[in-house]
Amino acid sequence: MRVLVLHGPNLNLLGRREPHLYGSDSLATVDARIRALAAELGVDVDIHQSNLEGELVTRIQQALGSADGIVINPAAYTHTSIALRDALGAVALPAVEVHLSNVHAREEFRQRSLTAGVCIGVVGGFGAESYLLGLRALVAHLRRTTPPGPAKARTPRAPRRARRPH
């Protein structure tokens, strides 16, 4: 089983950026914790961070056929990116959205997620532990719903078309 883990914008500054909100762990420390849990669960992880929306979209698209699911912290793009939402919906892989802080206890504009609607679940407010909880939940979901074997290419769901009368 293979999981893509994506970190959105500014997460490369973890440990230095507003530690009272996001914690004192660096991104490298968070990634090490993710890799340790993945090994414990017997899962391969592919971890990437980008400040660029298009790069995140490309990573999501590339997951089609190479990953079984996605753990994503879209960060600020959570509230603004239709492109990320569309990419997640297009690949139709199970995804879990994670956040370090409790976005519902923050500014009003942070309380709306454009990406949550195409994810199987959302975890937030537990600092770096949110990633681990999200990974555990995704792996449990995949084990319940995915036949064993390597990741297979999935065809994105096509919209239904109305049938024309003959």
Domain residue ranges of the chain, discontinuous segments joined by +: 2-145
Topology given in CATH for the domain delimited by 2-145: Rossmann fold (3.40.50)
Question: 22, 77, 79, 104: which is the annotated catalytic residue?
Answer: 22
Q: Is the pLDDT of residue 154 over 70?
A: no
Catalytic residue among 7, 77, 99, 131: 99
Is 77 part of the annotated catalytic residue set? no
Catalytic site includes residue 22: yes
pLDDT over 50 at 142, yes or no: yes
Q: Assess contact for 74 and 56: CB atoms under 8 A.
A: yes
pLDDT at 104: 61
DSSP 44: E
* Percent of the chain clearing pLDDT 70 (strictly above): 81
